[in-house]
Amino acid sequence: MRYQKKKQIDGIVFGIRTVIEAIQGGKTINKVLVQRELKGDLFQELWKLLQENSIPIQKVPFQKLNGITGKNHQGVIAFISPIAYQNIEWIVPSIYEKGTDPLVLVLDRVKDVRNFGAIARSAECLGVHAIVVPDKDAALINADAIKTSAGALHKIPVCKVSQLKKTISYLSEAGLTIVGCTEKAEKTISNQSLVGPMAIIMGSEQDGIDNRLLVKCDHLVKIPLIGAIQSLNVSVASAIIIYEIQRQQNIV
């Protein structure tokens, strides 16, 4: 008896038809790696689906795909998300309807999966209503992220957006104060009022918040440091500022 080859391994699916079926079946896909110069009618069907569903695509050499799986991937590998992403434009109104001020955490290009998992854990513990991430240049939500979050990523809504700048404009129009946590700020977190509906922006591990997002902020704040090392891991910094917000609002 011949057995069909397994088409799913540890959070990935591969093969053109298999990836098409995953998309049509409603799987949440983080991104798809596609072999450069891949052609054919079936591939064109897949490409159209990827475009229609705004799924991030990365064209890569054949060798990179072989390094991920030795199976017959046909030039296509998709990374399946273990969570379903949600819509921030649905979440914010639902929070207001409950009579609660929204608290949203926006992560600008935070790429380390363990940092992301740790941030999600702190955010869920401290009452953040949703986390917003870009659909590119962000940590993949995989098994490591879920484990580091201690399961928080199964509880807190995560919203993947194509344009952070546009989403921040929406949050501002929805009545949220936009606060950027950056070492470029003059005010410290304890010297700035952090009450009411709010969105906090945390920047990447390498270069902080993009300047195009900084100019969208109503306030910039920093965490005061007294040691010789004048920087904090983004997950630690996120926990500190979220705690300060909830302290000022008498939540903790």
Helix axes 164-173, 88-97, angle to 10 degrees: 20
At residue 122, the pLDDT reads: 97
pLDDT tens-place string over residues 2-58 = 333 445 555 889 999 999 999 998 888 888 999 988 888 999 999 999 999 888 888
At residue 6, the pLDDT reads: 46
Q: Write down the domain spans for the chain.
A: 8-80, 88-248
At residue 10, the pLDDT reads: 59
At residue 251, the pLDDT reads: 76
**Among residues of the chain, what percentage have pLDDT more than 70?**
96
At residue 136, the pLDDT reads: 84
Mean pLDDT is lowest, of 58-62, 100-104, 113-117, for: 58-62
Long-range contacts of 170-178 (CB under 8 A, 24+ apart): 170/88, 170/89, 171/88, 171/92, 171/104, 171/106, 171/199, 172/199, 172/216, 172/218, 174/92, 174/93, 174/102, 175/96, 176/92, 176/102, 176/104, 177/218, 177/219, 178/216, 178/217, 178/218, 178/219
Q: What is the CATH number of domain 8-80?
A: 3.30.1330.30
What mean pLDDT do residues 160-169 have? 95
Confidence grade of residue 85 (pLDDT, cut at 50, 70, 90): very high
At residue 7, the pLDDT reads: 54
What mean pLDDT do residues 201-225 have? 94
Average pLDDT over all residues of the chain: 91
Confidence grade of residue 230 (pLDDT, cut at 50, 70, 90): confident
Confidence grade of residue 211 (pLDDT, cut at 50, 70, 90): very high
For residue 237, report the phi and psi dihedrals to the nearest 5 degrees: -60, -40
Q: What pTM was estimated for this model as a whole?
A: 0.85
At residue 252, the pLDDT reads: 65
At residue 111, the pLDDT reads: 92
138 within 8 A of 109, measured Cβ to Cβ: yes
Q: What is the DSSP string of 96-140?
A: HHTT---EEEEESS---HHHHHHHHHHHHHTT--EEEEESSSS--
At residue 5, the pLDDT reads: 44
Mean pLDDT is lowest, of 13-17, 126-130, 134-138, 152-156, for: 134-138
Confidence grade of residue 170 (pLDDT, cut at 50, 70, 90): very high
At residue 1, the pLDDT reads: 33
Domain over 88-248 is classified CATH 3.40.1280.10: yes
What mean pLDDT do residues 75-101 have? 94
